[in-house]
Structure 1
Amino acid sequence: MNSRIIVATLCVIILGACGDKATQDSAVDYVFANARVYTLDETLPWAEAVAVKGNKIAYVGDTAGVEALVGEATQRRDLGGQLLLPGFIDSHVHPIAGGAYATALSLDTFGSVDDWVRAIADYAAEHEDDPVLFGYGFLATTFGPVGPTRQLIDAVVPDRPVLIMDEGFHAAWANTTALQALNITQDTPDPVPGFSYYKRDANGDATGYLLEGTAGMAMDALDVITTEVVVQGVGIVLDIMKAYGVTAAYDAGVIGYEEIAASVLQRTEDSGDLTVRLVGSY
């Protein structure tokens, strides 16, 4: 009789331990409850709760059902009746190519020359450790027939190279330090006179207005877009996408960054910043 009691007791203990383990294994990481969940599932268009385990949705249903999946480490979010939607999919985006410019100064194309000079000064103050300052967005016609001049930037940033591309990336605006770093002198030939050239004043000195091919050559020579810049920028782009609810996207091309695209994505994933599922045309 006593042996039967002992065996029964052991079975209860074993079963209890197995039950605890199963509960622990099935526990989810996150629970979003008390929500108006729109599912896009015709058989269950609306739900109250969503549970997530790892990087997958483990449950969509009512609040009572999700309670069985809650463990000690589960993080709960009470959404207070707010709307919860499936993640959005962006079908055409360029997170790598766009990321290359995410940390650059972005000028208001329809601003004034004074606005742009102030923006350059502010950007320089915020990036005092950057050896080269890079940006884009000015509209050349705003300067009149003379175009942008190096002296305008020299007045606020005289000690570091500054290169600003126009809104269409067909021209650039540089300060004197940038021209010196590029070794552009009175003797520097224009790659294609009248098309790809350095605008000059009456003395033959470069004014700081670089047109067509000379602008791209300056970007390359000053090394304004490095792999580090792109990695940092991709993180910024993905954070913006995530803030708008985008959870998956199609990268429609990395023109100009083919050689570093794989390493940029790998580094972004390794750092834990690849928070959007990407399918790409690489």
Structure 2
Amino acid sequence: MNPVTNAVRAGLARGRIELRNTLTTGEDLAGTVIPMLILLVVMIFMRGATVPGTDFSLGSAAVPGVLGMQVVFGGMIGVAGQLMVDREDGTLLRAKATPHGMIGYLIGKITMLSATVVVSLLMILVPALFLFDGLFDGGFGAWAGFVAVLVLGMVATMPLGAAIGSLTANPRNMGLVMLPFMGLAAISGIFYPITSLPEWVQWIAQVFPMYWLGLGMRSAVLPDALVAAEIGESWRHLETVGVLGVWAVAGLVLAPILLRRMARRESGSAVAARRERAMQRVGT
């Protein structure tokens, strides 16, 4: 059998094993479940408010934006975090030392993280369908649009996560990576219509994929009347596909280059040096 095919099959098997371990390990499972519960509670408290100019619940309107935000966090931050940890503990070096090991490694991570994103979305979506009114009134078309935005969102964010993770070797710097994303969540219309923010803030938000993922999710999940709360009173489907497509292309071009550079720099001495620095931090 072709060695690359073997590597792909090994990667898929690895992804399934890692997913099972994630879903059966208490600490990992809690790290997935607790943030989803917090988001649900926040949206429940928002049910009493309404979208400005309508009688539609602000909690219901926030659901698709939260789903889009979770795709960004799960795809981009998830991939970056995994790469940082695997560089430090030597997992990446072992993959590099195996013929076509990097292919299997990446396939495994994509499989595991994609499935994890879907599971986290279901943790929000399933209870939301019972707790909030007015979601997916468009029937099959709404669900098809939701799946299309989800797939495009993961293609746009995962390569970017790989690029970020390849540039940052220390997982303890993850907080510095998270801060900009928390800021983007605040200005991207996730919990409140972006049209309520200053125009210059709206322009900043529209540069990044989080706003467009939220918009795409809202266009699929919410009633058409809610388009009045969007910029230009339009769902801007073509712009959504275009911007996310540009980010996807940028990530798919940059990620392989940065990953190859990162892999070339990996060595036993580099891993040992990182472990030594980690032990010194623990000892101080």
- Tell me which interval the TM-score lies in, with the shorter structure as reference length: under 0.3
Higher relative contact order (CA 8 A, sep 6+): 2
TM-score (norm 2): 0.23
Instruction: Please say which structure displays the higher CA radius of gyration.
Output: 1
TM-score (norm 1): 0.23
